[in-house]
Structure 1
Amino acid sequence: MKIVQFSVLRPIAMSMVIFFLIILGSVSVKNMSIDLFPELTFPTAVVTATYDGASPTEVENLLAQPIEGAMGTIPNIEKVSSVSQNGGALVLVQFNWGTDMDFATLKMREQIDAVRDVLPDGVQTPKVLRFNPSDLPIMQLAVTDTKGNIENAKEVAQKEVKTAVDRLDGIASTSIEGGPEQEVQLITNPQKLLSYGITLKNLQEIIGSENIDLPGGNVEDDQETLPIRITGKFGSLNDLEMLPIPTRKGTVLLNDLVEIEQKEQRENGLSYLNGKDAVGLSILKQSGTNTVQVAKNIHNEIEKLKEELPSNIKIQTIFDQSMFINQSISAVSSNMIVGSLLAAFVLFLFLRNFRSTMIISLAIPLSIMTTFIFMYFSNQTLNLLTLGGLALGVGMMVDNAIVILENIYRLRQEGEGKKDAAIKGTNQVGQAIIASTLTSVVVFLPIIFVDGLAAQLFKPLALVVSYSQFAALFTALIIVPLLSSLILKLKEKEKKSVFDKFNNRYKALLSASLKHPKKTVGVVIVLFLLSFAGVPFIGTEFLPSQDQSYLSIEAELSPGSTVEKTYRKVKEINEKIRPVEEIANTYVTIGGSSSFSMGGRNSNNEANYSVLLTDIENRSRTDLEIAEDIRQKLKSIPNADITVSSGTSGFSANPISLKISGPNLETLRSLSDQTINLISKVDGIREPKANYEEGNPEVSISVNRDKAAQYGIGNASVAQTVSDATKGLVATKLSGDVGEELDVRLLVDEKYISSTEELENLTIQTQVGTSIPLKAVASISRDTGPSQITRSDRVREITVNADILNRDLGTITKDIEKTLKENLPLPNDQYKVTFGGQNEQMNDAFYKLSLALALAVVLVYMVMAAQFESFFHPFLIMFSVPLTFIGIILGLLITNEPLGVGSLVGILILTGIVVNNAIVLIDYLKQLREEGYDAKEAILLAGPTRLRPIMMTALTSVLGLLPLMFGIGEGTEIQRPMAIVIIFGLTVSTFITLIFIPTLYYMFEQRRIKKKEKTG
């Protein structure tokens, strides 16, 4: 302990160290990135492949199965699943946690190249994409025009807002949705084109070849070498209109051959803000950048824009992740400050000495600053979990300092000088607090070996708590003795305090316990056994839901519904949710591109709402309660499948996810329908829905191969002609006035493709140059198209997902298991029903954290054995660990909190800190025994002597966590279970340490003495 002596005897040098730590800590905080959660890396990648015109069955056989087979040979694969839809497949590859995803995706691309030759002709090279949570928007904006001119709003969004945002640091991309998309349309009459002997494909090639600038070599002129450029790009719409087109009747201007006009695209998504036309912008940040800073820069830029834009243009924020981050960080920080103040109050209450309280209170900010330095150099960010770790550690930060200061204070009362008391007092308990710190930190070592989502979330918290404990140890060993030697002053006359009376009562209770040790131990054991009766009443969950003041509503109409029909349904929804007072803004998108747009599939039958709620402090209901209210209001809307979801963490799966697997798709659909009906009756289940889609109504064209062969055409020719007529062909792009480019699209006049009768007369160019109607080689009928085929580990699968309300995940899962076992007969062993989603994540996390907890107990025992150089004393102290079960169960029952990942992490932390008080007590007890005291005398002296530091450390830890337990403010839901477990577990542990452990020690000593007498 020479460093303690150096600290006390060299105050100026140590003051410089303190000043340096404060400066370095402040710089570290300023330069740390701020985010909602630690940056997560999911071991997941996807392969997308398109095959236009292929049915889901064909896609499954020709694309999904070969790609699945190729992916299955890659190392560290956990699961391969696929979705086959009309026109394409998506193969999802999940790797084991900890896999190097850069190397894994490289291997995936190599395997794709290996199977490329077995894929059908016409299939584009499959793409490999990694799943990254940072690919989700950090902010969504809506641009509106109060005059109702949506075209103007779209132009402002594209030319002003997007341009301004894209140039900011940290922006990855900005996408625009909604509003009219302009293009130049060339409307053709098939009969007219036929009379001129020209096709859409001919026109596309001619227009595309004319709208280019080409280099033409160099020319010598006036002793200069000048490059030649042939300019042919269209400068205006007039250039396009006057383009000469060679036909069998001679050259004809394009304007005379087709109808040319600039107008909106035929199919385009719509978006509305609070029922009015709007244009949306989704903004993604670059990976690793500071979310809060990026969002702040965006807001500053938008404010500048608002000053420059006309007053009729309004830019509103729909969703801002940084807002929730700031509110959550602020709430956790406030709770941390309140906890610190409560801890300081406890110190003053016990010590009744302002200078002593000031010394301990200074330990908190110094420890926090030192922790920030550790965090910065280990590349940690300021987020809910790292700050939550600091908040958890605030009360524990002063534990070591309290023990040392209390011992110094006691020596000063016994007459020791300032410096001697500081050095001697620290040396007496120094080894004990080092052991206490090691037990608090060593419990986190097993988390290094845990993988999965829970580990990614809580490893940073474990690191921060460990950092805070080492920082607190440094402060206790160096700073507290220094300050004590300088400013600690005793009162001339100390009055008896309430604590003295409490000390006397404790001494009497301890004496009574020693008189009846078996009864005392028996009472504790009975309480421990009784606590098991509360286990069935405690539910389980994965992670608690977080109120982010955000809801989402999804409305799906029957397949094939038009945008206009979906919009009418949106108006009904708007009327129903208008009375909900907590809604601040509603933003809805209709149609547009789908998240899975293989084969040109659109989502015109879908509407997606983003509902922004008022702040938590301005409403009395939670987001879950508001979501349920909206859900009930929308139940009466017919002919629409509507789901309402609260804004949860975003990285956890569906609460209920049942995977039904087997070979036959129709059987799976029947089983999934039965499953939905059965689980709908389970209390707490909301909106069960299968992930398969009913077939889309479609027009089926069946080509007569014999007739088609006579004309020298095949299926591909027919498909290309029909596709060109219905979708159109983009021939080129026309440059606008300010740099934007408009698609020049060739289209067949809608009246020629508006019905199956008209479609039958669509002309097809034959190999010999003649044209025939489509009906000459094909039959046309209305039909129901295929839906989708989902596979998991090469077996077909349908998933039934559901939300839950007012009940915990574990209890609902048990009810579902019982219901399905009794009422859902499976055809044979090939069909299985398994749980996925949060239940799968929860079970995986519980198993791994339970193993970590068991290993932590062993490590704590090993640390204490090394400290005491004895197996007996650590064995005695370890009794305080299982008996905390009494407090844990009591706390979870009182607060009605389910056991989740947060609770398990809290138990892990508790394992390391519940032994600290016993270590301090047994260490002093051991010293007294070595000085010659008998067991009873040593206990009656050690207990009251160590009562004050034990009570002080317990109370500071408990009161420091109270704000988190009450969940004050946004973003505290994830730390609340940890706080509950630690508060109640530590409270019970304190009484166990003060009464049970000394009594148990006494019993063991009595037995040892009797045994010695018999053998002696």
Structure 2
Amino acid sequence: MNLPEMGVKKAVTTAMIFIGIIIMGGVSLSRLGLDMLPDIEIPTIMVITTYQGAGPEEVETRITRIAEDRLSTVEDIDSIEATSREGISLLTLMFHWGANLDNAVNNIRDQLDIIKPALPDDADDPIIFKFDIAMIPALVYGVSADEATYPHLKKMLEDEIAIPLESVPGVASVTVSGGLERAILVELDSQRLRAYNLSTTQIINALRMENLSSPGGNIRTGSMDYIVRVPADLKTQEIESVVVAYNNGTPIRIQDVATVKDDFKEVTQESLINRRPGLILMIQKESGANTVNVCKSVFAKMKTLKNNLPSNVEFTLVLDSSDQIIKSINNLRNSLLTGGILVILVILLFLGSLRSSLIIATSIPVSLIATFIFLYMAGYTINILSLSALAIAIGMVVDASIVVYENIYRHIENGQEIQKASIVGGSEVAGAMTASVMCIVAIFIPVIFAGGLAAVFFKQLAYVCSIAIIGSLLTALTLIPMLNSKNLASKKEKSMTDKKDLSTKLMLFTNKWFTKLENTYENALKKALQHRKRVIFTSLAVFLVSLFMIRFVGSDFIPQQDEGRLSFSITLPVGTRFEKTGEVTKAVEDIVYREIPELKMTRTSWGVGASGGIATLMGGEQASHIGNITVALVDKSERRRTPQQIAHDMSDKLNIFPDAEVKYSAASMGGAMLGGGHPLSVEVRGHDLNHAKDISLRVANTLENIDGVTDVTISRKEGRPELQVLIDRERASLLGVNAATISSILTTYFQGSVATFYREAGDEFDILVQLKPEDRSTIEDLKNILVPLPNGGQVPLSQV
């Protein structure tokens, strides 16, 4: 018993099977996640090591090269890219497709543990990032407040917003970026230190020895067992009274040589949200979580949490990835629905029977719904690729049904009984239709078995198309013959019905129209047969011209989308002070507000924050001489210009700053992750950084002279100007001073050293020891730094 015969003779069974498929497909659809793109595990791992205050050359020699040599032994590595910037070492490890990245992370961690003793003591531990689409934030808020509330805003957001949001299902992490960080500042007076002959080491040690809470064992007396503990945590008012040393029996306290402030750490980065001081609240979802559902849950939670903050705190939605997903999915869903309606209308137009058209149209929902079962079982989501696959397949899933229907109809018109015609008509074309469908499916096989990002990215599309088409074949060979045998009347019978019947009128109209179409086609075919050579040569010419025109058609991995965002990068000469960068960045911001009426909100920042490493990972760049402006535009239905057009129109408006390089582009979250960024990259490799720099400059100059090439940049950035402290080793050794001591003293004086921690209400804040600002602002201040000697004396830095 073949499929058409089974479908006709086992009608109830066939109906139950397809009803079951529809129910299972509906249940699967309700449980499928909704996302912009499929979950893709890109075989890339990044290792970031922060070494604050170090120049690119020092980072290269002391961290990057050591780590690169060691990590090159990790299994399945395809290539390693190493980047050394001011204070940051970035290693990008690209693995072969199919490599087990979880094992790779463990191997990398083991190798890094081996080299840790060889890394600088004051460098942070290396951080390992596994490249993941989920790294793109699901939601980003800009949070601003008035001047009175702003200093405490970071702590408020961490306690009242970030911690509760992390309990929302699907939320992986909540990060608060920017703002002021509270610290207890111990600002040393260099003159008083010299007068009392004290060193920074004595100050730090005194604070550490007086600030502790340690157990002292147990005392058992009677029936009780007591824990002995020494709760000696310092209170803010007690820090000034800590004794550092004695001078002829008189105690020298912290307050004698320093000023103690409960204040905030020195600002190295500032952010503005809509021109108001603000912070960034970034929410990342778990890998595999439904982005739309996560965002909805966060929005609901935020309505309650906002009530815990002062009324002057304002939240501005900078990025809502669910909004873009919903719009994209809705557009595709509407296209899918429109396509389905058009397919049914075309069938109706050619067949002339509403009932017959509806029978054939049943193959559309049945075939498409079956794909949802596969998507759910395979762990996929509904995204632009799966819906695109359905939109592609919707026109093909009716092909087999039309052929089967027409062949059944031919047998009925020849006088065959309806049930027998349904079986014979379906059986006759079963082999041909199976071969046809398998040929279409075979087109997608190379995509399924190919390697690389494109294969991983479009594999889901290939699966969905293949399953939809195979489902349409099974529908055509079982469901269509069954429905025909139960519901169809012959054309002869129809012709005997009332001429006023709507279906009959439609059939007469379409037959008349189709006859004209057939006549037109027949005449065209006759002319083509009479001029065979001309037709062949014309077709060949069109084919060759099409091949030639391909070179003029642009290509990209992912088409540009109007995400409604622009980004501006302002780069001043290396070494420019943080304050000057802020002035220029705000001047550019003024132009942006003046020239872009479509503007909805802005986020402006300059300088280096605590998340500098993360910014590097996400493709951004932070430095004291760099400012960034992100612009969110109103919905595209409310504006005429695209982000690309706005960026082009701004080109002449931003060339008014002689010392600043202003670059602008239509921003795209994750663009660089999925093959975006610069369309052409030329790599210059080598261990001699100066030689590599010279070659890079020559290559850049050559590229700039090529027509059509714009925006040539060199990834390697210059380090800030340095003041090098050259130690006279012979003199230093005679005095009993080593390089480590000098380096430690300089770090404390100029960068600050965390002596210990101040604890309050379960939180810890740094107690930072540093010279007061006015004592560390000139080169003379550097020369006059006191270096302690083993005999208890001190000498100025200029003497060693």
Do both share a fold (TM > 0.5)? Answer: yes
Alpha-carbon contact 1:572-1:637 (below 8 Å) kept: no
Shift of 1:282: 1.5
2:758 paired residue number: 734
Shift of 1:376: 0.9
1:770 paired residue number: 793
Name the stretch that deviates more: 636-645 or 530-539. Answer: 530-539
1:575 paired residue number: 590
Shift of 1:306: 3.5
Matches within 5 A, 1:21-100: 21-49=21-49, 56-57=56-57, 59-85=59-85, 89-100=89-100
Aligned equivalents of 1:6 and 1:343: distance in 2?
Answer: 28
Aligned equivalents of 2:545 and 2:84: distance in 1?
Answer: 54
Shift of 1:206: 2.8
1:700 paired residue number: 724
Shift of 1:489: 3.4
1:709 paired residue number: 733
Shift of 1:38: 1.5
Tell me if 1:589 matches 2:597. no
* CA distance 1:628–1:370, shift in 2 (3 Å): same
Aligned equivalents of 1:644 and 1:510: distance in 2?
Answer: 56
1:411 paired residue number: 411
State the one-letter code of the partner of 1:626: I
Shift of 1:724: 0.5
Aligned equivalents of 2:297 and 2:528: distance in 1?
Answer: 65
Aligned equivalents of 1:530 and 1:753: distance in 2?
Answer: 72
State the one-letter code of the partner of 1:725: Y
Matches within 5 A, 1:520-535: 520-521=535-536, 523-535=538-550
Shift of 1:239: 3.8
5+ unaligned residues in a row in structure 1: which ranges? 778-1016
Q: Secondary structure at the match of 2:459?
A: helix
Alpha-carbon contact 2:171-2:285 (below 8 Å) kept: yes
Alpha-carbon contact 2:407-2:425 (below 8 Å) kept: yes
Matches within 5 A, 1:289-688: 289-307=289-307, 309-490=309-490, 492-493=494-495, 495=508, 496-510=511-525, 520-521=535-536, 523-578=538-593, 579-593=595-609, 595-596=612-613, 603-648=623-668, 649-650=671-672, 651-652=674-675, 653-661=677-685, 665-666=689-690, 668-680=692-704, 682=706, 684-688=708-712
Picking from 755, 780, 785, the partner of 1:757 is 780
State the one-letter code of the partner of 1:568: E
Aligned equivalents of 1:584 and 1:360: distance in 2?
Answer: 49
Q: Secondary structure at the match of 1:658?
A: coil
Query: Cα deviations across residues 596-654 of structure 1 (Å, max 9, x unaligned)?
Result: 599xx972222122221222222222221122223332122332122212234332142
Shift of 1:295: 1.5
Alpha-carbon contact 2:727-2:739 (below 8 Å) kept: yes
Shift of 1:269: 1.7
Aligned equivalents of 1:354 and 1:88: distance in 2?
Answer: 69
Q: Secondary structure at the match of 1:260?
A: strand
* CA distance 1:483–1:202, shift in 2 (3 Å): farther
Alpha-carbon contact 2:55-2:719 (below 8 Å) kept: no
Query: Cα deviations across residues 711-748 of structure 1 (Å, max 9, x unaligned)?
Result: 100111111101100111212222335x4332221121
1:721 paired residue number: 745
Aligned equivalents of 2:174 and 2:49: distance in 1?
Answer: 25
Alpha-carbon contact 2:240-2:253 (below 8 Å) kept: yes
Q: Secondary structure at the match of 1:654?
A: coil
* CA distance 1:283–1:543, shift in 2 (3 Å): same
Shift of 1:371: 0.7
Aligned equivalents of 1:116 and 1:697: distance in 2?
Answer: 29
* CA distance 1:182–1:664, shift in 2 (3 Å): closer
Give aligned pairs, total: 774
Tell me if 1:746 matches 2:769. yes
Alpha-carbon contact 2:180-2:267 (below 8 Å) kept: no
Shift of 1:245: 4.4
1:9 paired residue number: 9
1:842 paired residue number: none
Shift of 1:197: 4.8
5+ unaligned residues in a row in structure 2: which ranges? 496-506, 616-620
Aligned equivalents of 1:188 and 1:441: distance in 2?
Answer: 76
Shift of 1:541: 3.7
Shift of 1:755: 0.7
State the one-letter code of the partner of 1:534: M
2:498 paired residue number: none
Q: Secondary structure at the match of 1:697?
A: coil
* CA distance 1:773–1:638, shift in 2 (3 Å): same
Shift of 1:119: 6.3
What is the RMSD of the two structures over their aligned residues, measured on CA atoms?
A: 2.9
* CA distance 1:188–1:124, shift in 2 (3 Å): closer
Q: Secondary structure at the match of 2:682?
A: strand
Aligned equivalents of 1:121 and 1:278: distance in 2?
Answer: 34
Query: Cα deviations across residues 336-367 of structure 1 (Å, max 9, x unaligned)?
Result: 11111111111111111111121222221222
Q: Secondary structure at the match of 2:652?
A: helix
Q: Secondary structure at the match of 1:754?
A: coil
State the one-letter code of the partner of 1:214: S
Query: Cα deviations across residues 482-522 of structure 1 (Å, max 9, x unaligned)?
Result: 22222233452253321122223434544565666666545
The percent identity for this pair of structures is: 29
2:266 paired residue number: 266
Aligned equivalents of 1:56 and 1:584: distance in 2?
Answer: 38
Shift of 1:198: 3.8
State the one-letter code of the partner of 1:436: S
Q: Secondary structure at the match of 1:169?
A: coil
* CA distance 1:148–1:239, shift in 2 (3 Å): closer
Aligned equivalents of 1:514 and 1:490: distance in 2?
Answer: 36
Alpha-carbon contact 2:273-2:602 (below 8 Å) kept: yes
Alpha-carbon contact 2:202-2:244 (below 8 Å) kept: no
1:814 paired residue number: none
Aligned equivalents of 2:335 and 2:147: distance in 1?
Answer: 46
Aligned equivalents of 2:20 and 2:96: distance in 1?
Answer: 44
1:938 paired residue number: none
Shift of 1:214: 1.9
Shift of 1:695: 3.6
Q: Secondary structure at the match of 1:687?
A: coil
* CA distance 1:146–1:411, shift in 2 (3 Å): farther
Shift of 1:756: 0.9
State the one-letter code of the partner of 2:279: V
State the one-letter code of the partner of 1:582: E
* CA distance 1:11–1:309, shift in 2 (3 Å): farther
Shift of 1:42: 2.0
Shift of 1:135: 2.1
Aligned equivalents of 2:705 and 2:560: distance in 1?
Answer: 23
Q: Secondary structure at the match of 2:328?
A: helix
Shift of 1:112: 4.4
State the one-letter code of the partner of 1:742: F
1:906 paired residue number: none
Aligned equivalents of 1:440 and 1:187: distance in 2?
Answer: 76
Normalised by the length of structure 2, the TM-score is: 0.90
Shift of 1:263: 1.6
State the one-letter code of the partner of 1:413: E
Alpha-carbon contact 2:199-2:786 (below 8 Å) kept: no
* CA distance 1:452–1:247, shift in 2 (3 Å): farther
Higher helix share: 1
2:206 paired residue number: 206
Alpha-carbon contact 1:193-1:199 (below 8 Å) kept: yes
Alpha-carbon contact 1:592-1:603 (below 8 Å) kept: yes
Alpha-carbon contact 2:176-2:281 (below 8 Å) kept: yes
* CA distance 1:725–1:62, shift in 2 (3 Å): closer
